[in-house]
Structure 1
Amino acid sequence: MRNFFLVVSVLLFANIFFVNAKEFPNDITDYKESLNQVGQARFKVLFWNIYDSALFTPSGDFKQEEDYVFEITYLRDIEKEELIKRTVEQWQHLGLLNEDYQIYVPMLMDIWPDISEGDRLAIWVSQKGAAFYFNQQLAGVVEHKYFGKQFVAIWLSPKTSQPELRNKLLGKMPL
């Protein structure tokens, strides 16, 4: 009996930090259609269009405590190693320490595919965790409660390297 309570306690404790992949459906289409777009933005480097992005929430306003979906539609081919390299660079720009993000790099290597022009990569951030969707299909779940917010901070943090893009995603007028 004592072992039973120990096992139950460990499982309950683990549930505070981890999310079960069953929390997320295999296809994000229906859920995304139930949301309202907060804003959208195109990311360009010089004259190259890299991607279009959009932020969706239930209310149509961005609130950290609400579930949300951030989706990128790629306008060019990009290898997953390049995506991960750029993600790490942006986390460093935000001031995250190496130990704050290194645990996620192997997970992203397992989840993200190489990207072709027209592909969509979305992240559904809930209060329980985060799931990536590739072309609307579940690609993988990062089972760390705070990962989703840390990942989307690349675009939505006041410290982002792209403040104009952030303002557009949040539905604000450009400065």
Structure 2
Amino acid sequence: MNRRRLPLRHGLWLLVLLNCQALANWQDSLPGAQVIGSGDFRKYGFDVYSARLWSTSRPLAGDQPFALELIYQRSISCEDLVNASVREIKRLSGTSVSAEQLASWQTQMQQSFVDVQAGTRLTGVYLPGQGARFFLGQQLLREVKDLQFAQAFFAIWLDPRTSNPELRQQLLGMAP
């Protein structure tokens, strides 16, 4: 190998490694985060996913970042995940979100989610004042810099009007 190219090649590898490490996993966004609560989501008697809510503050404070980790128990298409999320956001938001905005958010979710199988781990990280990051395992899938979207998305689980108040209580560590 040409000796002049060797330092350049090492330098490029170093840049690649540093760039990959910048957001190597979702925990980098929440140093010192601990599980606040966890629970299981079932529909029609079938296990769908196990969920864990991570944060650096307990109880969860609205101005603090957090991560919602979902570990799927069955196969679900990206399309079905997006459609279920859109339905819940629409139900919770009512007329406060326009059809155009909801369509834009649907596109964001289509680009942020993947088909899942049993054992797939998806984690969404809420970043106050910024938006959300979505991870498959430890790999960053997408960052969405839209705070209103992030708030509406995580409300699916954390809003008091959620369709699953028992899971909300478990995630927030309020379940008996």
Query: TM-score under structure 2 normalisation?
Result: 0.79
What's the % identity of the aligned pairs? Answer: 28
Tell me which of 82, 88, 91 is aligned to 2:86: 88
For 1:163 and 1:100, locate their aligned partners in 2 and report how far apart those are by CA, in whole Å.
26
> Secondary structure, in 3 states, of the residue corresponding to 1:85?
helix
For 2:92 and 2:32, locate their aligned partners in 1 and report how far apart those are by CA, in whole Å.
31
Spell out the pairing of 1:9-88 with structure 2 (5 A cutoff): 25-29=23-27, 34-88=32-86
The equivalent residue for 2:120 is 119
> Secondary structure, in 3 states, of the residue corresponding to 1:94?
helix
> Secondary structure, in 3 states, of the residue corresponding to 2:89?
helix
Q: CA RMSD in A?
A: 1.9
Instruction: Flag the structure with larger Rg.
Output: 2
The equivalent residue for 2:107 is 106
- The structural deviation recorded for 1:115 is 0.6
State the Cα deviation string for residues 57-94 of structure 1 (Å, max 9, x = none).
Answer: 10232111001111100000100000011001111221
- The structural deviation recorded for 1:29 is 4.3
- The structural deviation recorded for 1:31 is 5.0
Query: TM-score under structure 1 normalisation?
Result: 0.79
- The answer to whether the Cα contact below 8 Å between 1:27 and 1:137 also exists between their aligned partners in 2 is yes
State the Cα deviation string for residues 27-61 of structure 1 (Å, max 9, x = none).
Answer: 22455572011111100113210000111110232
